[in-house]
Amino acid sequence: MDISSLIFESKHTPRIYTPNEHCITTCKISRGANKVMTRLISAGFQAFLVGGSVRDLLLERNPIDFDVATNATPTQISSIFRRSRLIGRRFKLVHVRENSELIEVATFRKSPEHSHGADKTRIIFRDNDFGRIEDDVIRRDYTLNALYLDYATLNIFDFVGGMQDLNNGVLRLIGDPEARFGEDPVRVLRAVRFSESLNFKIAGFTDTQLKKYGARLRYIPPARLFVEMDKLFLRGFASRNFCRLRELGLLSHLLPFEECCQNPQFNSVREDFLESALSSTDTRVMEGGSATLGFLIAVFLWFPLKMQIEKLSKFENAPTEALVSAEEFILLTQLKKVAIPRRITKSVRDIWALQRIFAKPSKRKADRIIRHPRLRAAYNFFCLRVEAGEIPDDPIRWWSGFFEKSKKSGKLPFSSSLSYRLDRSRQ
């Protein structure tokens, strides 16, 4: 079907930006996304690049991922791509594997009727009513995420003034804030993420509304909150997002123990520890390095864990039993809020367990953990504790010497030494 026929049938006439009016070319789109859209068009369907990838390309940023929208149904998409997988309950879509890339392909949707799309809270839990591109625009959240790049022509279709908001540095909801935040409170977290990472000013809604509808995050499935947590803290703006969520009183919906630490001035060590971890993670991401949510979760829960160990030590017979009980309590409480995968909780436990070895070093213990897969993360964690003033730096001096010797002998399984933290810990 020709896209122009859809436009003229619609009540919403888009502003069309031709290729000479924007900076996006096919060479800026990933190889996998290019292939997926080409095959959709060859099969007789429409193919649009949409959402954050269009926004980031227009802002001359490197997109994290490329999302595709089409008029093909999920079943039709799956039949076109052999390496594909249908996923989602609330929102059915298809993941298409192209070499090492995972391309998300979604069918145009229309807003569901509340009678079958939402529960008594009026939050939409099912969003699988297929529609046309005009319908799809209206159910998107923010104007800057509702720009559609037609792959066949490279024209950008803007139905809601997204290009103007993008140029003006404005974050604006599509539709009434009360309704849009009400039907999906996760949009509150996205408002924080977009405004902080893009440094955009919000327009058309207030902090009061963010707080009000942010409270409804308690109704959101833990699995969805994990996805948002990943995006909030692993995209290079963890420190800013953390501070903004705390300012709005929303952190406890992701980190249940945050409520017991609402007075930062009473625990400057914890605050220094958190800020160092967040800022160092942001630096690594911005420099193209790797960062893991397991490391940050270990950071977020470290002081609650210490408090729980101290509490249980009064009743448990042995410190080891208190530690195990405390870890179980802390992680299970966290999992009720955010569905953290087992591989990540395993990483958290490993980072915590290695702290005892780092605190009381010996050659025998060091040789045993030299090839531990969490060694680097756990050591960085330990150094952050030293820098925050939680513990003295004497063990770091021992480990620095050990790592240097291990590097020279070829035992250290990294290309660089871990002793770089020592100078920072002396400051």
How far is residue 281's CA from residue 275's CA, in Å, rounded to a whole number? 10
Question: What is the 3-state secondary structure of the chain?
Answer: CCHHHHHHHCCCCCEEECHHHCCCCHHHCCHHHHHHHHHHHHCCCCCEEECHHHHHHHCCCCCCCCEEEECCCHHHHHHHCCCEEEECCCCCEEEEEECCEEEEEEECECCCCHHHHECCCCCECCCCCECCHHHHHHCCCEHHHCEEEECCCCEEEECCCHHHHHHHCEEEECCCHHHHHHHCCHHHHHHHHHHHHHCCEEECCCHHHHHHHHHHHHHCCHHHHHHHHHHHHCCCCHHHHHHHHHHCCCHHHCCHHHHHHCCHHHCHHHHHHHHHHHHHHHHHHHCCCCCCHHHHHHHHHHHHHHHHHHHHHCCCCCHHHHHHHHHHHHHHHHHHHCCCCHHHHHHHHHHHHHHHHHHCCCHHHHHHHCCCCCHHHHHHHHHHHHHCCCCCCHHHHHHHHHHHHHHHHCCCCCCCCCCCHHHHHHC
How far is residue 131's CA from residue 142's CA, in Å, rounded to a whole number? 19
- Give catalytic residue positions: 65, 67, 141
How far is residue 86's CA from residue 105's CA, in Å, rounded to a whole number? 10
